A and B are shown apart, each in its own frame.
Chain A
Amino acid sequence: KQEVTQIPAALSVPEGENLVLNCSFTDSAIYNLQWFRQDPGKGLTSLLLIQSSQREQTSGRLNASLDKSSGRSTLYIAASQPGDSATYLCAVRQGQAGTALIFGKGTTLSVSS
């Protein structure tokens, strides 16, 4: 059974720091991996989606990498801002299209000004 783990569970940094969030998964047979942002009491905002054949994806200050064979992904946030404060969720999709995502518990990030 696929399990997704995110480390650390919580992270506090001063504004301007670069940071890395980690995600690991136990079954490397994934179709793709997706990073989401969730603000308190809100739904999910998709940040980056990496197909299993890709190594990384970039969007603005965000860069996500995927090492499928080792079951790891990282989300790199450059020059963090207070507005980046949120919970970041990693999720994997296994198998064919139309299957559900399996989520980690998330990393709660707090960026202080």
Chain B
Amino acid sequence: GAVVSQHPSRVICKSGTSVKIECRSLDFQATTMFWYRQFPKQSLMLMATSNEGSKATYEQGVEKDKFLINHASLTLSTLTVTSAHPEDSSFYICSATSPLNPYEQYFGPGTRLTVT
């Protein structure tokens, strides 16, 4: 149980375009989802916290107008990188918590974004 999927696993887009990444909890309802970003040889850095039905809370330094997060249902959160630039190339990982076990996060497999 507690499986989180992400789609796509890899995406290449051109500079200036937008790309959407989906995060789904497959077998549980996720009241809270988190989006992390990981640059090569660096740790995971929290970008934003997303609660179903409300606006996401962004970490300091993360542009909310550039990284649009939508958590429209209890099983789906999306991250849209708008007007992507090469410096947005990174590994994006989502995680989710279940109200049945709010003290543990379940991680998706990640999405590798490359902006050319």
> Which A positions have Cβ atoms within 8 angstroms of B?
4, 31-32, 34, 36, 41-44, 46, 49, 51, 89, 91, 93, 97-106
Contacts and interface: CB of A to CB of B under 8 A. Distances in A.
B43 A43 contact: no
A4 B105 CA distance: 18
Given A31-B103, A103-B44, A43 B49 contact: no
B41 to A, nearest CB: 8
Interface of B: 6, 31-32, 34, 36, 41-46, 49, 91, 93, 95, 97, 102-105, 107-110, 112
A97 B105 CA distance: 10
Counting chain B CB atoms within 10 Å of each CB, the highest count among A91, A97, A98 belongs to: A98
Q: Is chain A's binding surface mostly helix, strand, loop or mixed?
A: strand
A88 B45 CA distance: 16
Contacts of A103: 36, 43-45
B32 A98 contact: yes
23 contacts: A32-B103, A34-B104, A36-B107, A41-B110, A41-B112, A43-B6, A43-B93, A43-B107, A44-B93, A46-B107, A49-B104, A51-B103, A97-B97, A97-B102, A97-B103, A98-B97, A100-B34, A100-B46, A100-B49, A101-B44, A101-B46, A101-B95, A103-B43
